[in-house]
A and B are shown apart, each in its own frame.
Chain A
Amino acid sequence: MTVNWQRTAAFAVAAFVLVVAAGVPLLAVVLQGIARPGGGGELFTARALELFTGSILLAGQVTSFAVLLGVSLGVVLGLGRIPGRRVWLALHAMPVFLPPLLLALGWFHLLGREGLLGNVQTSEWLFARSGLVFVLGSTLTPLVTLCTFFGVRGVEPALVDAGRIVARPVTVMARIVIPLAWPAMAVGALLVFTLSFAEVAVPMFLRVQVYPATVFARLGGLVYAPGEAAVLALPVVLLALVIVAAERAALRRHAGALSARGDRKEPLSFGAWTWFAWALVAAGVILSSMPLAGLLVRAMRENGFSDAWARLGTTAENSLLVACVAATVAALLAAVIGHGLARGSLLARWIDALALAAFLTPAAVTGVGAIVTWNRPATAWIYGTMAILSLCLLGRYAVVAIRVFQAGVLQRPVSHEEAAAVGGAGYLHRIAGVVVPESWRSLIAAWLLCLVFCLRDVETAILLYPPGGETLPVRIFTLEANGPEPTVAALALFHVALTLAALALLAALARGRRTA
């Protein structure tokens, strides 16, 4: 009885927190959108439909770009004989942990009219749909690369060896590795599709009209119409639910698809294709590094760093504060829900689905929900303070922590917990005494990765930051329009440094795990 009571209580608390942070705002959007009189007329306009289909098409183009490069690169780095593969992977993956706006700024300093490599033609190309596909594609490709990398590392080495005996490495990749690792790749592609569809800051910067930006526009600037925004958000929520279902289908029988269980000692040699493998690696690293180099050169040219330091104010502290609070609560939730997911709990699957839906819904939409839910006198102590940011970031990124911890727990034998249970340990004792001590690196990794995602969020912070609570990405976004370019570039690099510090800790953890 004690065991069940403890587990039920832990799940109830976790579910309550996530329902408040993610479920209520989503429900509020849906209810407000459905109940609004004349909502159909606002939704089914030719302009809205055109923007919606255009944004879907754009997300499809970005996803195709990312899959084409990311799958090849993930397979090459995951299984190939590429010296220094982890360094190349880290350099390539860096952009995915940064606000895409920073990368767009970097490309602007390279390809803009007065950019290092730019002229009128490159500028026209960048400030158009083509430029948007390129910037989002190069920024989000590492998601597919990372998913593919972990997916192919999860393929049993013997299955690859069995193929290698009879077929060339390229055939083994195409006929055995990719068919076995497709769930991981599909998840990567879904993530890219979702994030590119949800992106608002980069399309606004590159002056390309997209559907989520119309929702966003109803909450700022000259028009403040949260009701209309809620109506326009309805198809986006529906799309997010479809993607949740697709993700579930992809991972239905492959819960450990991203766990990289395989212990491959002998990397594959590509023979005559080695030059192509290295060309792919070089392309991936160059695409990821160039915009950061563009920012660096721009910031150094006119002493942007000293001005940026003066303009930094408390924005970095604010960013860290809200991100730390959200990540800490998310890690605590992950210890319950992530563990439950790994051990096949149905309730954990439902809670995870809610968290995933909140992650997949564009920030512009969850922002509408947060405003509708919390912008009232009784909850001013939340809405008028930094708590609203932490709460919304928690709702949006809890799934990151949950999935990371789930992957960690999946690699630990359930028998250890069963042994503790046989010895009389209740649920909480098993979590605190067995699960967390065994998977503490995964828990810290969950915290750090959630922190990084909270730090990279621009849209939620722009919509909801309280007076005096401006975060660093918000300062960059607002200064970008009229501020001095070197200062904005330097501020962007401060953000990069902040993220790099968190990622360095993650890397140290990963290294410790490999040598342990």
Chain B
Amino acid sequence: MTVPAIEVRDVSVALGRVEALRGVSFDVKHGEVVAVAGPSGSGKSTLLRALLGLTVPRSGSIAIEGQTVSRDGRLIVPPEQRGLAMVFQDLALWPHLSAAGNLEFALRVQGVPRVERDRRVSAVLARIGLSDKAGSRPSALSGGERQRVALGRALVQEPRAILLDEPLASLDVLLRAEMLSFLRSMLSDRPCPVVYVTHDGTEAAAVCDRVVVLESGRIAQTGTLAELAGAPATEFVQAFTGNIRREHV
């Protein structure tokens, strides 16, 4: 039996007095793109933080490629050793570093030799179409270019999994369509599993194989989009699947 790329078992997270996640369990298989959907405050971002190790779950366990990284309130593997990459909702590009510097940072601190670093950064910059903007600071880039740098920063690490936290939420409609197409092409030859947080059914339909719906910190429903659309368990799932444009169904 193949070990899942990510295994989440009965995870509960408390943020102060608020129960952000309650007994959440699901798997992500190798090469699979899983959307995590849910209304605001449902615990989507908290789930990503728990996977990354930025928040330690109060109970339950998380394993990455069979290695338990946290269990019952104990951080077993710190964030920098989990081999995960993340595209943040607000991109979180370091403003004091250039586009190439943002890509190179992780490789440098992980001790990747300079020649190898340069090769990987150049390759990813070419892949995201920003070779000519390597020396530009984020403030000098357009919204779409910043979005690509954020994705490039995740890809260059050759991570065990990529997590995306509503990566298109801050874009206007035209740019969102362009970036969605770009994302799809980037993830189509995906070398690793992806967890994609969104509240937009169209995005999920465009890039994801399966959907995990969170509501009030619990899993409300899981399945493919067709399964969810066929038998929506809650009003949110109904609205979520109802929003998907025809071409994606």
Question: Do B80 and A175 touch across chains, with their CB atoms under 8 A apart?
Answer: no
The stretch from B86-94, B129-137, B220-228 touching chain A is B86-94
Chain A residues 226-273 with CB under 8 Å of chain B are 265-266, 269, 271
Question: Do A161 and B105 touch across chains, with their CB atoms under 8 A apart?
Answer: no
B61 interfacial by beta-carbon distance below 8 Å: no
In the complex, the number of residue pairs spanning A and B with C-beta atoms less than 8 Å apart equals: 63
Shortest CB-to-CB span from B72 to chain A, Å, is: 17
Q: Bits for B73-94, please: 1 = Cβ < 8 Å to A, else 0.
A: 0010011101011101110111
A159 to B88, CA, bound (A): 9
Question: Do B55 and A165 touch across chains, with their CB atoms under 8 A apart?
Answer: no
For A164, the chain B residues whose CB sits under 8 A away are 54, 79-80
Question: Do B86 and A266 touch across chains, with their CB atoms under 8 A apart?
Answer: no
Chain A residues 166-221 with CB under 8 Å of chain B are 166-168, 171, 175-176, 179-180
Question: Do A180 and B80 touch across chains, with their CB atoms under 8 A apart?
Answer: no
B119 interfacial by beta-carbon distance below 8 Å: no
Contact partner of A166 (CB less than 8 A), chosen from B54, B88, B89, B109, is: B109
Which of B54, B82, B90 has the most chain A CB atoms closer than 10 A to its own CB? B54
Question: Do B85 and A165 touch across chains, with their CB atoms under 8 A apart?
Answer: yes
A176 to B109, CA, bound (A): 12
A53 to B94, CA, bound (A): 40
Contact partner of A165 (CB less than 8 A), chosen from B79, B89, B90, B95, is: B79
Shortest CB-to-CB span from B54 to chain A, Å, is: 5
A265 to B105, CA, bound (A): 24
A163 to B79, CA, bound (A): 10
Question: Do B105 and A163 touch across chains, with their CB atoms under 8 A apart?
Answer: yes
Question: Do A180 and B92 touch across chains, with their CB atoms under 8 A apart?
Answer: no
A175 to B106, CA, bound (A): 11
Chain A residues 27-76 with CB under 8 Å of chain B are none
Question: Do B109 and A156 touch across chains, with their CB atoms under 8 A apart?
Answer: no
Question: Do B88 and A167 touch across chains, with their CB atoms under 8 A apart?
Answer: no
A162 interfacial by beta-carbon distance below 8 Å: yes
Contact partner of B157 (CB less than 8 A), chosen from A166, A171, A180, A266, is: A166
A283 interfacial by beta-carbon distance below 8 Å: no
Query: Knowing A164-B80, A266-B54 touch, does A159 contact B92 (C-beta < 8 A)?
Result: yes
Query: Knowing A166-B80, A167-B80, A266-B55 touch, does A161 contact B92 (C-beta < 8 A)?
Result: yes
Chain B residues 1-32 with CB under 8 Å of chain A are 15
Shortest CB-to-CB span from A250 to chain B, Å, is: 15
Which residue of chain B is the closest to A179 with respect to CB atoms? B96
Which residue of chain B is the closest to A171 with respect to CB atoms? B109
B110 interfacial by beta-carbon distance below 8 Å: yes
A9 interfacial by beta-carbon distance below 8 Å: no
Question: Do B109 and A165 touch across chains, with their CB atoms under 8 A apart?
Answer: no
Shortest CB-to-CB span from A178 to chain B, Å, is: 10
Query: Knowing A158-B90, A161-B88, A162-B86 touch, does A265 contact B110 (C-beta < 8 A)?
Result: no
For A175, the chain B residues whose CB sits under 8 A away are 105, 109
Shortest CB-to-CB span from A255 to chain B, Å, is: 15
A163 to B237, CA, bound (A): 34
B52 interfacial by beta-carbon distance below 8 Å: yes
Shortest CB-to-CB span from B61 to chain A, Å, is: 19
Q: Bits for B47-70, please: 1 = Cβ < 8 Å to A, else 0.
A: 001001011000000000000000
For A159, the chain B residues whose CB sits under 8 A away are 92, 94-95
Question: Do B109 and A180 touch across chains, with their CB atoms under 8 A apart?
Answer: no
Question: Do A162 and B88 touch across chains, with their CB atoms under 8 A apart?
Answer: yes
Q: Bits for B129-168, please: 1 = Cβ < 8 Å to A, else 0.
A: 0000000000000000000000001000100000000000
For A265, the chain B residues whose CB sits under 8 A away are 15
Question: Do A165 and B105 touch across chains, with their CB atoms under 8 A apart?
Answer: no
Query: Knowing A158-B90, A159-B94 touch, does A166 contact B55 (C-beta < 8 A)?
Result: no
A168 to B82, CA, bound (A): 12
For B110, the chain A residues whose CB sits under 8 A away are 166
For A166, the chain B residues whose CB sits under 8 A away are 80, 85, 105-106, 109-110, 157
For B84, the chain A residues whose CB sits under 8 A away are 165
Q: Bits for A144-165, please: 1 = Cβ < 8 Å to B, else 0.
A: 0000000000001011011111
Question: Do B78 and A271 touch across chains, with their CB atoms under 8 A apart?
Answer: yes
A362 to B135, CA, bound (A): 44
For B79, the chain A residues whose CB sits under 8 A away are 164-165
A343 to B185, CA, bound (A): 44
Which of A158, A179, A180, A266 has the most chain B CB atoms closer than 10 A to its own CB? A158
A42 to B86, CA, bound (A): 66
A133 to B82, CA, bound (A): 46
Question: Do A163 and B88 touch across chains, with their CB atoms under 8 A apart?
Answer: no
Contact partner of A168 (CB less than 8 A), chosen from B52, B54, B75, B80, is: B80
A176 to B105, CA, bound (A): 10
Question: Do A161 and B54 touch across chains, with their CB atoms under 8 A apart?
Answer: yes
For A165, the chain B residues whose CB sits under 8 A away are 52, 54, 79-80, 82, 84-86, 106
A266 to B52, CA, bound (A): 13
Shortest CB-to-CB span from A312 to chain B, Å, is: 47
A168 to B79, CA, bound (A): 8
A164 to B110, CA, bound (A): 12
Which residue of chain A is the closest to B52 with respect to CB atoms? A165
Question: Do A176 and B15 touch across chains, with their CB atoms under 8 A apart?
Answer: no
For A269, the chain B residues whose CB sits under 8 A away are 75
Shortest CB-to-CB span from A459 to chain B, Å, is: 40
Question: Do B92 and A162 touch across chains, with their CB atoms under 8 A apart?
Answer: yes
Shortest CB-to-CB span from B176 to chain A, Å, is: 20
A165 to B75, CA, bound (A): 14
Shortest CB-to-CB span from B241 to chain A, Å, is: 30
Shortest CB-to-CB span from B153 to chain A, Å, is: 8
Shortest CB-to-CB span from B95 to chain A, Å, is: 7
Starting from the known contacts A163-B94, A164-B79, A165-B86, 18 additional A-B residue pairs (CB-CB under 8 Å) come to A156-B90, A158-B88, A159-B92, A159-B94, A161-B88, A162-B93, A162-B153, A165-B79, A165-B80, A166-B109, A166-B110, A167-B105, A167-B109, A168-B78, A168-B109, A176-B94, A180-B94, A271-B78
Q: 3 shortest A-B CB distances, which residue pairs?
A: A166-B106, A158-B92, A162-B92
Q: What is the interface of chain B, defined by CB distance below 8 A to chain A?
A: 15, 49, 52, 54-55, 75, 78-80, 82, 84-86, 88-90, 92-96, 105-106, 109-110, 153, 157
28 intermolecular pairs with C-beta atoms under 8 Å apart: A158-B92, A161-B49, A161-B54, A161-B86, A161-B88, A161-B92, A162-B86, A162-B88, A162-B93, A163-B94, A164-B54, A164-B79, A165-B52, A165-B79, A165-B84, A165-B85, A165-B106, A166-B110, A166-B157, A167-B106, A167-B109, A168-B78, A171-B109, A176-B94, A180-B94, A265-B15, A266-B49, A269-B75
